[in-house]
Structure 1
Amino acid sequence: MGTDDVVLMLVGATLVCLMLLRLIVLVFFHAPAICRTLRRWLTQLLLPLNPRKKSAEELRLADEIQRVRLALSHRALALYATLSWVIMAAAVVNIFLESPRYLNMEATWLFLALMATLTVYAFLPWTLCRHTLDFWYALFTLVTLLYASPWCTPVARSFDALLLCIFVRLPSSIMATRTLWVVVGNSLVSLLIILRNSIDPGGESELEGNSFAISLVIGIEFSSFFLAVVFAAALTGWMWQRAELGRENSKISSDLSAVSMLLRLMSDAVVELDQDLRLQRHSPELSAMLLRDRPGSSLEGVRFTEFVYGSEAARAAELLQNPACVLSTGQGTSAHAFHTRLVDTFTNKVCIEVFHVQVLSSDGEVRHLLGLRDFTDSASLSGERATDAMDQSLPSPMSPASLDQSPVASHLLPEVMEGWPSQTSSSWRPQEEPPRGRQAFLEVDMEVKVVHSASASVAFLAGSALTDFFTAPHTVQLLQRICDEAQRGLDQEGTLPQKVFNYQDLPVRWSAGHYGTIHGTFQVVQSRFGRIGVVISFSEPNLLSPMGRRTSKSSGRSSATSKKQRSFGTSSQPARSLRPTHARL
């Protein structure tokens, strides 16, 4: 034994040992998964012998697999027809030129019969259907057996076994509806080839009298058998996964369609955003709502936050991309609601209730379905279930720490209030100087939630319920929370916080059908009986002419009159003009 042989033997033995060690490690750590896989393959192999009744879902998947298998079989038969035409044309040319031929007369007649069958298929494609798939596979298995028999190949040749494996045994397994049929067919072919080479080992002169010939043939046949069975099983597994993926995509599309229709029933506009919060397609409803429905204009590709009021854009983006409180299925789907304000073409602010559904598309990307509802003149549908109403992650606006008189703590409550624009549909900011001009005052009793007393210009509001006066329900909730925190501060510190808070564009209802907005200040007060209330001051409204506000609706409900009225709004007057309110249809 030479030095090169020793080195080659050592390197080969090392690699074999490493692969064996890796195989042992995989079996040790993944034994349960391997057992499940083998059990599944065995179940698929013995599926015809399994008497278990299939469920409706399994029947649908099996039907989809058969559909895919039939489509692949049509392509395979088209390839076989082309290949048989080439072989037969070459045989005819050789016969005409009297040239040496590789195939004898019997093998040529066999291919001629196969070509005739494929010609019938070419003119009658319906002969290949779901019920005849196994018949076609049996036909190709029979052709393989006949070619490997002594009738067509009197002298056994190992090269023929390779040709049969590459061109017949592997591709034809596509048409087998059961892996068991592939096992049976390839077992017969391999057994015939091995027996022929064992009985007549002198077929090839270079291997004559050499036992290596039989070993080579046995190795080729075992490899061909293994490849054909694994190919059939892998193909079936791929088609099964493809059928499941198609079913999941269909279910996702159906769910998205149902969610979209539900959002359209409860919203004025429905838009779909990508993971960057850009509109996937143009929305005529949103365009009409924001008075952007000019000819040729499109909202496709525009970021949704560009429509949101400036100070609320960052918060809206955070609620869309990383909501603090959502209803989630744990599979990439979540739903929640929140409130914000949009700005139309004329810088008028529209109070919007956003119904947000986050889903994963079939390609794994995040999609956002938004239902947008104008609730300026109506109650919120989500109410306290909205994310901005349930979010308790914000600092308590009047915690003991916030009652500290330090400069930083003295501005804590206004900062928290400014972070709650959607709860009151207005902007809350601290102001050093109170608004000037004639003021109206309301004293609110938060225990019974009514206007306890009112100044002369708004005396008709005395005794009104807060839910009737404030159109946004979160306004009452916010005032109640501030009073509760003030009561806790009073119990702990003995004094009320000496702070005045400013608000702007707070929507109110003066009377039935008459709406407007107010801006001014409010402060927590204490009565002689120890009750905690709120004194609200605002500029005296002009109630001499009947005024109200018309709700902004989608394109199907918008009118040219409302657009004309909104077009008179200016940036110097952020409050929306009062217009008559019409009944919703």
Structure 2
Amino acid sequence: MEEAVLLMVSFLLEAFFLIKLLHSIHRSAGCACWTILRQICTWPRHCFRMLRKSTTTRLAQEAVADMQVLWSHRFLLAYSFLSLSSLLSIQYNVLLGRHRWMSPAFTWTNVIVYGCLTVYVIFPWLLSRSSLNKCYVVGMLFACAYLSPWHTSSEIVADMALILFVFFRLPAVIMCTRTSLVLLCNTAFVALTVYRAYNEDLEEEGTFGSAYVVLWIELSTFAITLAFSVALRSLLARKVEYKMQQANAETQFSAASTLLSLMCDAVVELDESFCLRNHSKALAAMLLKSSDLQGLSFLDLMPSVDATRADEHLRTVGEAPQRAVAHAFHTRLVDSCSTKLEAEVFQVL
């Protein structure tokens, strides 16, 4: 009865899911269903192209690598403390003569891993842009060793696969600069797991340590790790491109401000409400004002008639789709003596 209810509920939920999915596809684009199906069928080719060649520039790739080096330093430092805690636990059990579940090979591999991390802590310059992939491959070799029959028995292979995935395989992706290398190294895990599943006597079918469960866990972790690598690379590339665009915009703004300062009596920066972001001594001197102009609306410095027309000019240019826009218009400014001064405003976005 319980199994019948389980099947009925699960099939019902799957039916609702598929109906909603088909309805969304039908609503989104009628004839675009063929386009969606074509994209689904061609995704392996796009994925292979993405793994083979990066679309980012060399300068952006170097910036992404520098960011990965910074993150990798933090990851290895945290992993050093984690490895130290494991080694202290081993020493505690050895000194007290307590039972240890680790095999001698597993124990000595822990010591070797901690030794490598100690070398890194002493010489942190060993981790650089050129050595990131090498360090990642070395780490994956140690992880494969932990999952080998000489280190992990068949009874705990599923547990060890999950532990390696959570504590190393997934976070260690930040150390790899090539998604194809992540694919290659994790394929070794799949091959090792398949070999152990078909050549060792794992737990009986239906238990957590059965061959089916072990293979399912490995394939799931493989897909998650690869997807995380692709997403991380894309995220870092977008972040770097955004920083480069921001730096380029700041450079252009600085050049425009320098050029305007040679042409104009006063240069000010306005916010979205056309208020002055900073106080301008040149504009205050021109209008004979001794008060701080920061936060004051630029339109308040004009007669009401001219302010309305200036507001239209400023908003029209502000809504333009171009990235860089230059505009000029005539208006009048009012000084502290209520004198109207003819002025020409140059606006640069």
Superposition TM-score, scaled by structure 1 size: 0.54
CA distance in 2, matches of 1:211, 1:153: 16
Residue 194 (structure 1) shift: 2.7
Q: Deviations over 1:314-363 (max 9, x none)?
A: 2222221235xx995x23543321111111112122111011123xxxxx
Question: 5 Å matches for 1:106-125?
Answer: 106-125=105-124
Query: Paired residue for 2:342, among 351, 368, 376?
Result: 351
d(CA) in 1 for partners of 2:305, 2:4? 79
Larger Rg: 1
What secondary structure does 2:343 align onto?
strand
Matched, 1:222 2:216: no
Q: Partner residue of 2:328?
A: 337
Shift of 1:106: 1.5
Q: Which residue in 2 is equivalent to 1:73?
A: 72
CA contact (8 A) 2:154 2:201 kept: no
Question: How far apart are the structure 1 equivalents of 2:42 and 2:74?
Answer: 33
Q: Take 1:142 and 1:319, find their aligned partners in 2: how far apart are those partners?
A: 65
- Which residue of structure 1 lines up, in the alignment, with residue 51 of structure 2? 45
TM-score after normalising by structure 2: 0.89
Report the count of equivalent residues: 340
Which amino acid counterpart does residue 161 of structure 1 have in structure 2?
Answer: A
Which residue is equivalent to 1:128?
A: 127
Alignment of 1:261-280 (within 5 A): 261-280=258-277
8 Å Cα contact 1:201-1:209 kept in structure 2: no
Greater strand fraction, Structure 1 or Structure 2: 1
**8 Å contact kept, 1:278–1:301:** yes
Q: Distance in 2 between matches of 1:16 and 1:120?
A: 52
**2:269 and 2:276 in contact (8 A); partners too:** yes
**Cα distance per residue 1:121-145 (max 9 Å; x no partner):** 1111100001111111111111111
Quick check: 1:327–1:335 contact (8 Å CA) kept in 2? no
1:16 is matched with which residue: 14, 17, 36? 14
Q: Is the 8 A contact 2:155 2:209 kept in 1?
A: no
Aligned-pair distance for 1:46? 2.1
d(CA) in 2 for partners of 1:110, 1:217: 23
Report the equivalent of 2:254: 257
Distance change >3 Å, CA 35–CA 73, structure 1 → 2 = farther
Equivalent runs, 1:443-522 vs 2, <5 Å: none
Query: What corresponds to 1:447 in structure 2?
Result: none
SS in 2 for 1:11: helix
- 1:198 is matched with 198
Partner residue in 2 for 1:378: none
Mapped to 2, the partners of 1:38 and 1:118 lie a distance apart of 37
> Is 1:321 the counterpart of 2:315 in the alignment?
yes
Q: What runs of 5+ residues in structure 2 fail to find an aligned partner?
A: none
1:236/1:197 Cα in 2 relative to 1: closer, same or farther (>3 Å)? same
| Structure 1 residue 273 displacement after superposition | 0.5
More helix by share: 2
The superposition leaves residues 405-460 of structure 1 with CA deviations (integer Å, 9 ceiling, x where unpaired) of xxxxxxxxxxxxxxxxxxxxxxxxxxxxxxxxxxxxxxxxxxxxxxxxxxxxxxxx
CA pair 200-331 structure 1, distance change in 2 beyond 3 A? same
Show the counterpart of 1:179.
Answer: 179
Deviates more, 1:87-96 or 1:332-341: 332-341
Q: What is the identity, as a one-letter code, of the residue corresponding to 1:290?
A: L
Deviations 1:262-298 (A, max 9, x none): 2222111111110011111111111111112x3xx42
Higher relative contact order (CA 8 A, sep 6+): 2
1:212–1:134 CA distance, 2 compared to 1 (3 A): closer
Q: Cα distance, 1:15 vs. partner?
A: 2.5
C-alpha contact (below 8 Å) 2:275/2:297 kept by paired residues: yes
Matched, 1:83 2:82: yes
- Secondary structure, counterpart of 2:108 in structure 1: helix
* Aligned residue type for 2:297: R
Give the conservation status (yes or no) of the 8 Å contact 2:287–2:336.
yes
Amino acid at match of 2:10: G
> Which segment drifts farther, 111-120 or 69-78?
69-78
Q: Check whether the contact 2:266–2:282 (CA below 8 A) recurs between aligned residues.
A: yes
Distance 2:42 2:247 in 1: 28
Query: 2:169·2:225 contact (CA, 8 Å) conserved in 1?
Result: yes
Distance 2:39 2:62 in 1: 27
